[in-house]
């Protein structure tokens, strides 16, 4: 069995319930590891040690009294820096937001606390949560526990790195363009992007904004797929505005693997996958086929990859533009107005998307709705779609301006932001997607595989991840972090 600091949150909760370890003892174990291991990767960037110690002592006292314990009773965990947590700054990596101190906890943090979790710190992000790499002027750069010279992913890069390094028991991240899924892939942990709207994001927004952002969701990362289910059950469900007439009843994966219809999309001209990534997608597909699943590598939804990606890119740009400072947005307006009508360059298109009029956004949203219906028909024929989440394993840090960056796939250079393609398939259509550690590349770095399911099929993709975990697609500690 793995050491305590590498065990899953559900295993740790079980150990606390059974009296094999105390909540305070477990917290001190993680704090000692943060002191010793975190400096090399810079994943945990804020801590509330005294508050966490008091909560751990209270959890131990409650256990001794025999009081009912939640599913995460006493488990130490961290959260992404972008969540509100009373007394701590929520900056989103923006230097001007250093003094933004939360006066209340995000709803998801409240729900995790009600389940017994003990939040003791926050983890690093890129500025405005808008990069595949997690670095900013306030907290510095987060390295990958498998190789600190390489990225941990973004924007929940600190989240995945802290889990992989054994610095925390559980994590909560957020995802608009793969920000839970790509860090899980790069660091070799599990991550789940919920169906849009399933988990209320109140308290995960700057400036007290209450309107949920298009595409963006919040969700868990863990060292096991069981942790994803436990955390999702804790945080899912309507917020107060909807709770008077809505409730959540997610369908489980009741079928045997032999009954599943599995579609596989392992590479695409818009975002070519490396040989190593293709091999791990094929390994997952082969494992399911070996247990009798029907596997189809040719099946696709009834839309083109280009149409889906352009629709996603437009809506993503529009949603992210809401986070821009006024001066930056004004500059985008100027670029859009200055571009010639026949200028279809990436810069001109992004400026147009960032500054869409409501009429134009509505037309693109209608295209998105048609894509969602195409997915609905697709999932009448298939239970899950297995895809990459990123085209390569973790690459070296690159802090040059976005326009100067490239991604190298099997020796060939490609545009940096083509990497949103695989995340966008599920993102634009509001679908759930779970990332499973699927093995390692030739260089020994982790590779994750994405399981996309139908809307509100969150438990089905997570429980399929649990089946795959039992087949050996599981978390493995980084060999050199200690």
Annotated catalytic residues are 80, 155, 179
CA angle, corner 229, sides to 453 and 219, nearest 5? 75
Q: How many residues in total does the chain contain?
A: 482
Report whether 122 contacts 88 (CB < 8 A).
Answer: yes
What is the widest separation between alpha-carbon atoms in the chain? 72
CA angle, corner 11, sides to 7 and 17, nearest 5? 135
Q: Which two tokens stand for residue 173?
A: 């991240």
Rounded-to-integer distance, Cα 194 and Cα 218, Å: 7
102: nearest Cα among 88, 119, 123, 122 = 88
Rounded-to-integer distance, Cα 467 and Cα 469, Å: 5
202: nearest Cα among 168, 240, 234, 232 = 240
Report whether 228 contacts 192 (CB < 8 A).
Answer: yes
Report whether 123 contacts 41 (CB < 8 A).
Answer: no
Q: Where would I find the H helices in 168-235? A: 181-187, 225-235
Cα distances from 83 to residues 31, 46, 297, 359, in angstroms, run: 20, 12, 39, 32
450: nearest Cα among 471, 467, 464, 470 = 464
The 10 Å Cβ neighbour count of residue 30 is: 26
Phi and psi angles of residue 51, each rounded to the nearest 5 degrees, phi first: -65, -40
Rounded-to-integer distance, Cα 282 and Cα 466, Å: 18
Q: Is the peptide bond before 155 cis (omega within 30 degrees of 0)?
A: yes
Rounded-to-integer distance, Cα 10 and Cα 155, Å: 25
């Amino acid at each position: 069995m793995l050491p305590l600091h590498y065990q899953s949150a559900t295993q740790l909760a079980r150990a606390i319930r059974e009296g094999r370890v105390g909540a305070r003892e477990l917290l001190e174990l993680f704090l000692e590891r943060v002191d010793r291991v975190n400096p090399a990767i810079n994943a945990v960037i804020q801590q509330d040690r005294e508050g966490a110690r008091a909560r751990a002592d209270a959890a131990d006292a409650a256990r001794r009294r025999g009081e009912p314990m939640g599913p995460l009773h006493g488990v130490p965990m961290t959260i992404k820096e972008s969540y509100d947590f009373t007394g701590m700054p929520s900056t989103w990596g923006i230097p001007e937001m250093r003094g933004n101190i939360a006066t209340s906890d995000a709803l998801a943090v409240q729900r995790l606390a009600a389940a017994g979790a003990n939040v003791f710190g926050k983890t690093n992000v890129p500025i405005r949560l808008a990069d595949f790499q997690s670095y900013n002027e306030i907290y510095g750069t987060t390295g990958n526990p498998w190789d600190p010279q390489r990225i941990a992913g973004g924007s929940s890069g600190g989240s995945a790195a802290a889990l992989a390094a054994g610095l925390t028991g559980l994590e909560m991240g957020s995802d608009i363009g793969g920000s839970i899924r790509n860090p899980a892939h790069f660091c070799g942990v599990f991550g789940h992007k919920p169906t849009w709207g399933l988990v209320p994001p109140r308290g995960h927004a700057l400036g007290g904004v209450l309107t949920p952002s298009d595409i963006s969701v919040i969700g868990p990362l863990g060292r096991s797929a069981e942790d994803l289910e436990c955390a999702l059950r804790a945080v899912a469900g309507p917020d107060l505005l909807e709770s008077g007439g809505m409730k959540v009843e997610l369908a489980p994966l009741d079928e045997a693997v032999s009954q599943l219809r599995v579609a596989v999309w392992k590479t695409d001209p818009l975002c070519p996958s490396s040989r190593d990534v293709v091999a791990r997608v094929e390994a997952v597909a082969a494992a399911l086929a070996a247990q009798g699943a029907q596997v189809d590598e040719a099946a696709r939804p009834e839309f083109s990859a280009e149409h889906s990606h352009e629709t996603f890119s437009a809506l993503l740009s529009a949603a992210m533009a809401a986070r821009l400072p006024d001066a930056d947005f004004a500059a985008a307006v100027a670029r859009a107005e200055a571009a010639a009508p026949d200028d279809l360059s990436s810069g001109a298109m992004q400026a147009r998307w960032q500054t869409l009029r409501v009429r134009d956004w509505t037309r693109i949203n209608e295209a998105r709705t048609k894509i969602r219906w195409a997915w609905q028909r697709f999932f009448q024929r298939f239970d899950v779609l297995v895809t990459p989440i990123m085209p390569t394993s973790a690459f070296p840090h690159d802090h040059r301006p976005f326009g100067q960056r490239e991604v190298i796939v099997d020796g060939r250079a490609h545009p940096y932001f083509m990497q949103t393609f695989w995340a966008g398939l599920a993102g634009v259509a509001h679908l759930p997607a779970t990332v499973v550690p699927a093995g390692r590349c030739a260089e020994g770095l982790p590779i994750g595989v994405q399981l996309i399911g139908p809307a509100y099929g969150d438990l089905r993709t997570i429980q399929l991840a649990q089946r795959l975990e039992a087949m050996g697609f599981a978390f493995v500690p980084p060999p050199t972090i200690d």
